[in-house]
Structure formats: structure tokens, C-alpha cells
Homo-oligomer: A and B are copies of this chain.
Amino acid sequence: MKKYACLATCLLALSFPLCAQKPEALDYNMYQRIRSEGFDHSHIMEYASALMDGIGPRLTGSPNLKHANEWTRDQFTSMGCSNAHLEDWGEFGLGWRQINTWVRMSAPDNAVFIAQALPWSPATSGPINGQAIWIEAKDEKDLEKYKGKLTGKIIFFGPMRDVKPVEKPLTKRNEDADLKKIEDFPVRVGEQHEDFLAGFIKELTFREKAGKFFADEHAAAIVVPSRDGRDNGGSGGTIFDDGGTGMGWFTYQREHAEKLPIVVTAIENYGRVYRLLKANVPVSIEMDVRTEFTGDHEHGFDTIAEIPGTDPALKDQVVMVGGHLDSWASGTGATDNGAGTVVAMEVMRILNALHVQPRRTIRVALWTGEEEGEFGSYGYVKNHFGFAPLSTAPDQLALPEFVRKPGGPIQIKPEHAKISGYFNVDNGSGKIRGIYLQGNAQLAPLFKEWIAPLSDLGVNTISVRNTGGTDHEAFDSVGIPGFQFIQDPLDYSSRTHHSNMDLYERLQPADLAQAAVVEAIFVYNTAMRDQMLPRKPLPHPELDEPGKAPLKNVMPGVVAAAEEQKKDATPEKTPEKK
């Protein structure tokens, strides 16, 4: 019923375009109160230190993430939210944590390496020592020549890359020209990702087979080189531990799990071994990987809390705000996505501290499983709002969900009619410069009014563009307005995104405080306006030409990392999050 009400509202808006452009009644007093609370009484760095320093990395399935789920829930309660609780989004897979990892060269010289276990790596049985061997193989055939030669060996797997000097600042802000580029809408007709995905699937399939081969050949462990970051940020001690460097698909599932201990090492350390081996100098490696599996069938949970609506006619409607709480494992996930998490917490703290009386309910959600496939947000959206069924044809069932073809029209649940919109922060620590409309151009005049009083904070840009790679996509995929903000990039893509250096030091307090103020205002406005946010037409993925549909909406972190790696090789095009 509410669904039809919403449709009627939308139709009304579409029928009276002049009416839709009437100026929004904005509460400038509340703008000011939010600014004062956010800038003069910020708690954001306390949240940040407690989460990043106190709890640490939050790999999905890990004990740390459980701790973070509980801690954020309790923080929401203690700041005055209602109904703070955890919602199960389903089974994830392995529970895992790293206890310690070290790797050193023990011949021809002693050298301490910078290295960490890749997520879900099994442990060594104490320190092990073995001869290093560099594997030159692009496909299964190439592996054959190593048959019978790998017993006890430490496998160096992956090409050595050029390590260039850092000739640009690792951190940067959006200049006017960058924002203008983001504003321009790129018309893309018939574009699809299949070629990229096909290559990526092939590569990962080979890797999984190679991992199995090395284990079958009784190798002792695997060392992979760190990928690069933007502008050669993947050097100087910064290593990336995201899926792009693992041995296969979905290593968090027992049936795909890494067979051998596997570590990622600084490119310079990898390079030294590589060059020595190429020069026929025998290299010995000693290493210790202490990791622990804490469960085989761990579930994932989203942290949810609310400020209840107060308008009898609107209080069962909801505006949502959030970010993902999970992270990779080698850093503490400070910018990905501790930043979005503490910004969302601060948004709720500000609104609680001001005792706002929102007409609609304001609900915060801290997702998990984002890095592996936006599982927490998609799971929540499926449970509450709707989902796009996937093909169940046998060939399709053999594929991972995020590349599977649609199997029918989107299925809607009653709550779908009650959610006005969702706001997400997941582009690092940079301040907000504007917002992506996800193709919904009718929002431009509305949001332009909203940001006019935020011009002095640097918020000036409305882009109709789609941006991908994070949890607003779950909402967008079923036709709910879901937004990601435009943020200053800082050192997100160069140094912090999925790296051992995604640590508290990368957080910029002033930027985060600004982001919380801006997001709080968007959330508040959405909660207070007479109407819900206008929607795009409901998507019909099942009508897209098979194989031609952009697969943008269900692309997990692992693909994003691979895309970034690919992007590193070519000039940077769009500043969108990957």
C-alpha cells in the first residue's frame, strides 16, 4: 500500500514539474546547530582511535569485527539512539585472524622484510626455512616444468614490476578542474564489463589452480609482491593485502581456501629476491606465519540503530545513513572504511546531541562483508526492501553471484515504499565536495539548494554520474535512492586503500568533521521534507540484453582491487571510487 502511495507521489511530481522545482523549505537554524555541534564538540577522533587503535582491523568473519559490531551498537545506544542491534545478513565463511607474521632473507644475506599474511592464509607450523624459487608461469602448462621441484620451497609468485619514484604528491585534493570533470556526465551506451571480467576470471581461476599445484608439490609457502597504488604509492614500505594478490576466488570459503601459508611482501623485498634468483644466486627465506581460524561458518552482521521519527504520518518512513565497518587485515581500515563508519557515528551523535525531532525515522547501518561483495548491504536490502533474482540456469549457477545473469524482475517488499534514501561515505578521509546522483538527474535542483549554504565548506558539486564500488549500490540496484558523496581523494588510492598503512595517522580530523556535518544535514533534510526523495524508474535487469548489462552493481572489493591494478597501468580517468 505504501508502495502505491509512493508511486502516486512520484507520478504527481512528474506531472507537475514546476511544482517539483519550488524552493525547498530549509531549516537554516538547524544547519547552524549541526555545524556548531560538529565543529565545536566533535567526537570523531575519539571514535576513530577507539575503533582503529583499540579494536583494529575488521576483516569480515573475524573476532575483531564481532567486537566492532558490538562496540558500535553500544556506542549508538549510549549516544541516545533507539533500537541499536545487530542484524544477521547470512553465512559468510571462515573466521580468521593474524597473530604475527615475519619474513626474512637468511641467505645470501640477512634481511628483515616487510610482510603480512594475506587474509585467510593458513599458518606455518612455527618458523620455517626454505630455498626461494621464482615461478615463471602464465598458465597451467607453464607450471608443468616445476613438477617434482618444489618440495619445501618458498614460492615467489607474481611478476616483478617497475618501482618508480614518487613524482607526484601522494595526497591531493580536488581542484576546480577535477570537480568540473566529475560534474560532466559521460554518456555511455551499450558499455559492458564482460571483457575485463572474462580476463579477470581466467586469471583468478589459474591462480587457484596454481595454489593447489604448489600445495600438491609440497611447497612450504607462497610469497607474492604487493601491487602498486596510484602514483607509485605501493612502495617505500606500503603493501596492499586485498584480494588482488591472493591465489584464488573467495578464499574465505573453506572449499576455496588457500592451501599454503601465503604472505604479501614489500615490492622492494620481493625485488631483491627476484634479482638474486635471476642472477642464479641461491636465496633462503625464513618465515613465520601465525594465523588462526576462528570458525568455518561465520555469519555476518550489520550494526543498526535509529532516531525514531516523530511525525505520525511519516515516522514509519525512513532515511538511512551508513558506511561499511569491515576492512582488510594488514592495516586497521582507518580510511576504508573506518572513516565512513566514524562519520556515520558522528552524524548520529550530532543529531542525538541536538535532540532533533525528525519527521521520518533516521536509521544508521554499518555494513560488513563489503570488501568481499557488499554482502551486508545487499543482504539488508534483500531482507527489507527487495532484490534482483539471479539466473538459476546450470551454467550460471557455476559462476559466483556477482557475475551471474539476472533471472527475473526485481522483487519488492513492502518496506521498499517506506525508504526515502540512503547516504554512504566510503571514499576515505577526504572532506565532502558534493554528491553523485547515480543517474537520477531530477535530484540536481533539490540537492543544489541543500548545498548552497555549505559552499564555504567546499561543497559545491552535483554530479549526475554513477559511482560504484560500495554499499549505496545495494539500494540503487532495487530503485531506492542511494548516494555516495564526492570526497577529496587525499592518499586513498595511492597509499591507504587496502594497505598496511590504512592507519589512524591517515585520518584528517578537519575533513572528517566536515563530512559528518554535511552528511548530517543531508540526512536531516531528507528526514524533514514533505516528500520522499524522487526515484529513478525501477530497474529491469531482466530486460537488459544478455551479456550487455553493466555489472556495476554487484562488484566486490576483489574486482575493484583488480580494476585499480589495471587502472594503474593507464592514465587515471575518473576519480570514482573503485
Contact = CB atoms under 8 A, between A and B. Distances in A.
Contacts of A170: 165-166, 170, 236
B100 A64 contact: no
Contact of A272 (B330, B500, B504): B504
Contacts of A275: 49, 53, 504
Contacts of A505: 163, 235, 267-268, 271
Contact of A102 (B49, B112, B169, B237): B112
Interface string A80-104: 0000000000000000011111101
Interface in A45-66: 49-50, 52-57, 64
Given A100-B102, A272-B504, A114 B114 contact: yes
A501 B100 contact: no
Nearest to A50: B279
A210 to B, nearest CB: 26
Contacts of A114: 114, 237, 500
Contact of A490 (B102, B108, B165, B272): B165
A276 interface: yes
Interface string A279-302: 101000010000000000000000
B112 A54 contact: no
A275 B49 CA distance: 8
A476 to B, nearest CB: 31
Contact of A501 (B99, B268, B286, B490): B268
Q: A166, A236, A267 — which one has the most chain B CB atoms within 10 A of its CB?
A: A236
Contact of A109 (B55, B108, B165): B55
Q: A110, A233, A235 — which one has the most chain B CB atoms within 10 A of its CB?
A: A110
A104 B110 contact: no
A87 B266 CA distance: 38
Nearest to A229: B236
A279 B49 contact: yes
Interface in A476-507: 490-491, 495, 500-501, 503-506
A69 interface: no
A166 B166 contact: yes
Contacts of A501: 235-237, 268
Given A495-B236, A505-B268, A112 B330 contact: yes
A176 to B, nearest CB: 18
A101 B112 CA distance: 7
Contact of A500 (B97, B237, B491, B508): B237
Contacts of A111: 56, 332
B500 A166 contact: no
Contacts of A168: 169
A283 to B, nearest CB: 10
A478 to B, nearest CB: 37
Contacts of A238: 236-237
A279 B49 CA distance: 9
A501 B171 CA distance: 20
B116 A97 contact: no
A170 B108 CA distance: 31
Contacts of A268: 501, 503-505
A418 to B, nearest CB: 39
B237 A109 contact: no
Contacts of A572: none
A501 B166 CA distance: 13
A282 to B, nearest CB: 11
B109 A54 contact: yes
Contact of A503 (B99, B272, B495): B272
Contacts of A101: 112
A37 to B, nearest CB: 23
Contacts of A236: 170, 233, 236-238, 495, 501
A279 to B, nearest CB: 7
A500 B64 CA distance: 31
Interface string A218-235: 000000000000000101
26 contacts: A49-B279, A53-B272, A53-B279, A56-B110, A64-B109, A98-B110, A100-B104, A100-B110, A100-B112, A102-B112, A111-B332, A112-B116, A165-B490, A165-B506, A169-B169, A235-B501, A235-B505, A236-B237, A236-B495, A237-B238, A237-B500, A237-B501, A271-B503, A271-B505, A272-B503, A275-B504
Interface of A: 49-50, 52-57, 64, 97-102, 104, 106, 108-112, 114, 116, 163, 165-172, 233, 235-239, 266-268, 271-272, 275-276, 279, 281, 286, 330, 332, 490-491, 495, 500-501, 503-506, 508
Top 9 A-B pairs ranked by shortest CB distance? A237-B237, A56-B109, A165-B171, A166-B170, A102-B102, A163-B505, A268-B503, A268-B505, A100-B104
